[in-house]
Structure 1
Amino acid sequence: MSPVRALLALGRHDAAISDLGFIGMVVGEKADARSYIRSVLGPVHDYDALRRTELTETLEAYFASHMNLDRTKERLQIHVNTVSQRLERIGTLLGDGWQAPDTALEIQLALRLNKIIDDAPADRG
């Protein structure tokens, strides 16, 4: 499917390919996973790098725990208030609606791609 057809199928007549999120990466001419990850998780990664926090890890645990605070705190072995504070910070960084289904899907895909890229052996070619 062409990117233009994907936009039209999604009812996005006035959007750019970059507005398609993961669909744009899949149907676009060049798949650029790193740019996609950056577009979705950039503020969280930057915050983690600058302040040595674990917001990315918190996001991974939160989604792996089906967005349940108690399960997330158990997975991370931290207090539930710490989980709530981290999620509030994530909300500030990613914007309102980050937990909405479409946005949450984008975040989860970016987290998985990030893990795959990080865990892949270095390209020696």
Structure 2
Amino acid sequence: MTEFAWVVQPDAVHDGHVNNVKYLEFLEQTRKPWYQYFASLGFRSLVAHLDVTYKKEAFLGDLLRIRTEIDRVGNTSLDLQQTIVNQHEELVLNARATFVAISIATGEKMRIPDEMRGAWQQS
């Protein structure tokens, strides 16, 4: 699991609260260490599906904590579960991103490496 904290800045606010598109940018930023981990295993990931449920507004100056963890590992795909909570531990957003593994060497879809499968099952 990874966790990052963001303080909501003026550029993320539209009509008094965080713009829904900005949340997607926050989620993408916090997935970068996962992309590096995938690359160390020989694959890059392409988003196949993104499901986002907005639960509560966030406002200028709020402290948002974004947690990301592997939720499922399939044959050639995996799911990352992401949550955003505010400084009051209230759920702001829940998201699930499904990725397809693409070999860095060949550019073809590939099986998720056993090393990752084993690490995920132990957590």
Q: Which of the five TM-score ranges fits, normalised by the shorter chain?
A: under 0.3
Structure holding more strand per residue? 2
Query: Structure 1 length as normaliser, TM-score?
Result: 0.27
Structure holding more helix per residue? 1
Query: Structure 2 length as normaliser, TM-score?
Result: 0.27
- Structure number with the bigger relative contact order (C-alpha 8 A, sep ≥ 6) is 2
